Structure 1
Amino acid sequence: MSITAPTTGIRPDRYHRRDELAALDPATDHVEIYRALSGLEFPWDIQQALSMALFRTYAVPSIGRLLADTGEFTERTQKRYDDTGLILDTVLANGFEHAEGRAAIRRMNQMHRSYDISNDDLRYVLCTFVVVPLRWVQRWGWRRHTEVEKVATANYYRELGKHMGIRDIPETWRDFENLLDAYEAEHFGYDPGGRAVADATLDLATTFPPNDRAPRALSRAFLLALLDEPLLDALGYPFPSKPVRMAADAALRARAVVVRRMQVRTEPFSLEQSPSIRSYPDGFDVRELGTFPATCPVPHGGRDRNPAG
């Protein structure tokens, strides 16, 4: 089935695609549904949410410290950001069975195998991919997700997690939420490495449109206002004032009102075309993205390591 944007009169029906997606089966059509959500219905929201999800991973010391030790997110922040997004986008754009999709997953798994990463940490990161965008759209999207879309989102990342060799993946989107909340309650904490990676990512985010149109201090304050207090506390950031939080919330809600009245998107958003992706102006080969350490640069401590990651 092809996801379309038929017209009603001279203007596409803003909610037609929602109804069309609701008629699909999230058990078998989850790739098609999630591709439509990311590329057509909520492209900006999901991209922003996945970017903000990075900060949650930094607040888990075992993850933030590892990322700091590799130097990738502090010394080559733009490239690391681009590589992460492009690898994931290649899987989504092509599917799990396509040669390019398989190459992207292989590249991701090769990188993960170079480091001592526990199954629990990989599973938590997978949870952020599901939960943070769902909660973002619930709060700031131009419309809310349907139940079919939530189920499809969870099923898409369940399949991705299986290809990554992650064990004990949550079954439902609610299970993903419960696991994320429980993991953060137990593991969130301050680590200098995690804070350094967060600072580097925050600095990069202030250069993305439309943040780059405002003074950096203002953009930084806006971005921090989007983070919840447990996350801010774990990263050691000061809590933004209530007026700043209210202003950031109001700006995103106002955007949702505007988007709700815009023409329906008919051409899928491509991350490669995003102005935030800057490392490969002449294109890229997914097989060459990421890092290629000859040996693991981080000592292995014998934790419950993911055999595929």
Structure 2
Amino acid sequence: MESAFDGQAALSRAEAIYRDVAFTEFSEDLAFGLNIGFYRTFAVPEIAQLLASTGRMTGQTELRAKATGQMMYQLFRHGLDSEQGSETVAALNRIHFRWSISNDAFLYVLACFDVAPMRWCDAYAWRSSTPAEKDASHILYLGLARRMGIRHVPPTWGEFAHWMDRYEQSRFAATPEAAELWGATRGLLANRFPAALGPLVRTAADALLDEPLRHACGASRAPAAIRSLVSSGMRLRARRVRRSHQNPQLAHIAT
């Protein structure tokens, strides 16, 4: 008998749920959570050294970030086994398997895309993610792992979250590469705002990092006033999005 986590039918159901998460329920927050998840990889020396060695994350930051986002959203929109999805998985395999990357490093990157965005939504979105949405995320990434040859993925989202926490406790470390990568990507965030606000935005970006990640990336601890401002801003944003979901006409007017 097919379990909730096995088989093509389960994958198709999970992809439909996750598609709704990515494009309707948490369209902004999932994207932000995926970004924060990717930043977490900087704190693992093995991964940071590889990312820095290619030069693309530091020399072509915007291009690299855009390409990664487009590939992930191709999978979300079309599914793993669609024509577009199969081409994307093949491209991911070509990109990653030219390097010597341990299975644990692959597993951790997968966790950053599976676990971190749902945790971001739970903390900052207009509502928390549901168990069904977390299950759907995990089934999707289990499917991706199988297609990329990534082994030993914990069988549930919760177990994967525990694995991720243990991995971070044992592997996070400050390195020059992590600081360089965070400096490049933080600058990309700051560049979206007027130049006069650049220093404030960069400090606010630091405030979004938890303490272990901030330490590993060499980021300064944001002043209490900035941390409070960021927290208040995220709560106000969540209320705005909640109102738009409760009254779709408001979202139409706002756009």
The whole-number CA distance in structure 1 between the counterparts of 2:43 and 2:132 is 31
- The structural deviation recorded for 1:192 is 1.0
Note the aligned Cα RMSD (angstroms). Answer: 1.8
Q: Quote the residue 2:39 is aligned against.
A: 55
- The structural deviation recorded for 1:264 is 3.6
How many residue pairs match? The answer is: 240
More helix by share: 2
Name the aligned partner's letter for residue 158 of structure 2.
R
Q: Quote the residue 2:3 is aligned against.
A: none
The whole-number CA distance in structure 2 between the counterparts of 1:134 and 1:193 is 27
Q: Quote the residue 1:152 is aligned against.
A: 136
Q: Quote the residue 1:165 is aligned against.
A: 149
The whole-number CA distance in structure 2 between the counterparts of 1:201 and 1:159 is 29
Q: Is the 8 A contact 1:63 1:194 kept in 2?
A: no
Q: Quote the residue 1:203 is aligned against.
A: 187
The whole-number CA distance in structure 2 between the counterparts of 1:214 and 1:181 is 38
In the superposition, the TM-score normalised over structure 1's length comes to 0.74
Q: Relative to structure 2, which stretch is displaced further, 90-99 or 251-260?
A: 90-99
Q: Quote the residue 1:89 is aligned against.
A: 73
- The structural deviation recorded for 1:207 is 2.1
Mapping 1:132-281, distance limit 5 Å: 132-208=116-192, 211-212=193-194, 215-262=197-244, 263-264=247-248
Q: Quote the residue 1:69 is aligned against.
A: 53
SS state at 1:215 partner: helix
Q: Which runs of 5+ in 1 are unaligned?
A: 1-24, 268-309
Q: Percent identity?
A: 34
Q: Which runs of 5+ in 2 are unaligned?
A: 1-8
- The structural deviation recorded for 1:174 is 0.8
Q: Quote the residue 1:276 is aligned against.
A: none
The whole-number CA distance in structure 2 between the counterparts of 1:70 and 1:93 is 29
Q: Quote the residue 1:295 is aligned against.
A: none
Name the aligned partner's letter for residue 177 of structure 1.
A
Name the aligned partner's letter for residue 70 of structure 1.
T
In the superposition, the TM-score normalised over structure 2's length comes to 0.89
The whole-number CA distance in structure 2 between the counterparts of 1:60 and 1:127 is 13
Name the aligned partner's letter for residue 112 of structure 2.
T
The runs of at least 4 aligned residues of structure 1 exceeding 2 Å deviation read 25-28, 211-214
- The structural deviation recorded for 1:214 is 6.2
- The structural deviation recorded for 1:27 is 6.2
* Distance change in 2, residues 1:140/1:71 (3 Å): same
The whole-number CA distance in structure 1 between the counterparts of 2:163 and 2:191 is 33
- The structural deviation recorded for 1:159 is 1.0
Q: Is the 8 A contact 1:30 1:155 kept in 2?
A: yes
Q: Quote the residue 2:5 is aligned against.
A: none
SS state at 2:166 partner: helix
Q: Is the 8 A contact 2:38 2:113 kept in 1?
A: no
Name the aligned partner's letter for residue 92 of structure 2.
M
The whole-number CA distance in structure 2 between the counterparts of 1:246 and 1:230 is 19
Name the aligned partner's letter for residue 98 of structure 2.
S
- The structural deviation recorded for 1:235 is 1.3
- The structural deviation recorded for 1:242 is 2.4
- The structural deviation recorded for 1:241 is 2.3
Q: Is the 8 A contact 1:26 1:149 kept in 2?
A: no
